[in-house]
Amino acid sequence: MTRLRRRYLPRRRVLVFGVLVVAAAVAAGMVSTDRATRQAATAKLTATRLSIFQDKAPEAPSALQSRLDVLAAGYGEDVGIAVTDVASGWTAGVGQHRLYPQQSVSKLWVAIALMRAVDEGRIDLNAWVTMDDADRSVFFQPVVAEYRQGRYVTPVSDLLRRALVESDNAANDRLMRELGGPEGVRAALEDMGLTDVKVGAYERDLQAQTAGLSWRHEYGFGRNFQNAREALPMAVREAAADAYVSDPLDGASPAAITAALAALSRGALLSEESTLRITSLMTAARTGPRRLKGGLPPGWSIAHKTGTGQDFQGASLGINDVGLLTAPDGRTYAVAVMLPRTRHPVTARLAFMQSVSGAVVEQWMRDTGTTVAD
């Protein structure tokens, strides 16, 4: 957070000038009124972008911090947890400042970068794009089933929905292409002050590198990727997996993720319309119904994004769930749970994530004086 303040606070002095330049350009006929309006609006957003990052956020509740410590110790493996109160800014957590593999959590940053471009008038969600075999990715890519004669024509908005709701890898990779690739996404995130969350690479390149491969076009068909992976010497795969977990190309810390989610929730990153579109799609997510969501009682809601990495030697690399948990009274908490390399069975992983969301519910009950009977 300190780095974010250093980078952006000086820019506030020139924001008014930027807005005046846009106004002058409109008067001179240099840009359209609509585009100038969008630019002025995003300049205003930039001026308030870091309002979520208070100079001195209050300390996290000790009861919640103690509970998270106990849960993490009980799990018995390396875990990352962060819980941020969106309204007050406090953050509790375990390993919250370490970098962990995100896997498909990174699709969220691609979506935010895309909606930033929409706010600025650089991308039209209703624009049509054509996907073909060059857009194939790896693992889960249901959009490929829509191909007819090797092509699929669809609006950008459809790809956004597929990426966030279904976690479609090919849809996500194509959105990244529309943004100028990983470098374009990274530049957009940096412009918003999100310097501590990374996309790293196209999904297909990330998965290939994690397995010890370099992406090849034919890996996007059938089981070609899995067959190539299985043909590698075990030492190559072990080295690649260890390198990925220790220094993930798509790494982010739980605290950086919850800070970004809190900023999104407060409208500090995107326009109101774009914020609503992102959070609505996150609410409709079909993945991970028994992760964080499974620990919430009736009356609570969640807008979230999961991440699920490859299995190797009895372990799964990058099992995550991050999201915005909203209580019945509207109080919202940004939560991230990240398991970089877990050997526990799926039931134990789910129970752990649910226990974290349960701990958030318990803290809300303490804060509001709510009982189970209420």
Tens digit of each residue's pLDDT (9 = 90 or more) over 222-273 = 999 999 999 999 999 999 999 999 999 999 999 999 999 999 999 999 999 9
Please report the pLDDT score of residue 57 as a whole number: 84
Residue 37: partners with Cβ closer than 8 Å, 6 or more residues away: none
pLDDT in tens, 285-302: 999 999 999 999 999 999
Location of structure tokens 């209703």: 126
C-alpha pair distances (Å), 207 with each of 79, 302, 344: 21, 28, 22
Q: Flag residues of the chain having pLDDT under 50.
A: 1-32, 43, 46-48, 51-52, 54
Please report the pLDDT score of residue 9 as a whole number: 33
Please report the pLDDT score of residue 7 as a whole number: 33
C-alpha pair distances (Å), 17 with each of 6, 45, 47, 116, 349: 20, 15, 12, 21, 51
Q: How far apart are CA 198 and CA 221, in angstroms?
A: 27
57-368 under CATH 3.30.70.100, yes or no: no
* Other C-beta atoms lying within 10 Å of the C-beta of residue 218: 12
Please report the pLDDT score of residue 164 as a whole number: 98
pTM, full prediction: 0.86
Residue 28: partners with Cβ closer than 8 Å, 6 or more residues away: none
| Inter-residue contact 187 to 307 (CB < 8 Å) | no
Please report the pLDDT score of residue 56 as a whole number: 72
